[in-house]
Amino acid sequence: MHSINQLVELPLFAEKNVTVVLKREDLLHPFISGNKFRKLKYNILAAQAEGKNTLLTFGGAFSNHIAATAYAAREKGFNAIGIIRGQELEHTWRHNATLHKAHEDGMQFKFISREEYRQKEDIKFIDLLRSEFGDFYLVPEGGTNSLAIQGCEEILTKEDELFNCVCTSVGTGGTVSGLINASFAKQQIIGFSALKGAFLKSEIEKLVQKDNWQINNDFHFGGYAKITEELVRFINEFKAKTQIPLDPVYTGKMMFGLCQMIQHDTFVPGSKILAIHTGGLQGITGMNSILKKKNLPLLHI
């Protein structure tokens, strides 16, 4: 895996005397995007060290993690198995851009019901999968485990010490936990939840030791992968102003929330904020197919 780092100052907040710099983790790799690149890095090294030749993981219809795992497996010479939420997709997945690309990259699918999917961490269920597919290296849904957090700790570098605050979107909690662990003295971490419900805080507390962080639950727009016309408009306007695309599931919501907080003077004048672009742009095509069915405006690609 290769990497590139790009910091972009956003010229949107001068009147508030707040500096916002976007760290474009979405540019790390053309197909293993952003935080997925970070989460898979040490898991793939562990799979190689254990002599495994197959990666198995879980995800939904437009999962960034499924797309990234399929490509990473192909790039590193592994077989890949995706346990996909939603039996109805078994007959339509070829029309789904994410799953079609993952299949092209060699991933084998098993489609299961949402009820079955809730057993994804159950040892008996994992044993059934081993009896069906043989031995494999298990990568959790969303990629979050201790090795993923280790990879996400590498998002922050010494040059990021000058920022008072670091902001990221939150899904399974791995990325924000890595940022918390790697944060510098006097640095605050704000995670913007992409999921409805306040359960994430207790999950993250299990993964970190520091207390310099908070989870903002105000900008999930109805829950995971839910979107509104207001969010579409914001993402399209942001791209028009900055030429930077945002994904609608994670970073789009985080940037919307951050902009709202700045407009409402949440940050003291002179604040320097680092926002993390965690990638996920491959999901825009799938989201646009949903928006089209609802006769809503489309995201600009």
Q: Annotated active-site positions, please?
A: 63
Contact yes or no for 152/183 (Cβ under 8 A): no
Contacts 24+ apart (CB under 8 A), 142-146: 142/39, 142/59, 142/65, 142/171, 142/172, 142/174, 143/35, 143/36, 143/39, 143/40, 143/43, 143/57, 143/65, 143/68, 143/69, 143/172, 143/174, 144/39, 144/172, 144/173, 144/174, 144/177, 145/43, 145/174
What phi, psi does 249 have (nearest 5°)? -90, -35
Angle CA(78)–CA(82)–CA(83) in degrees, nearest 5?
145
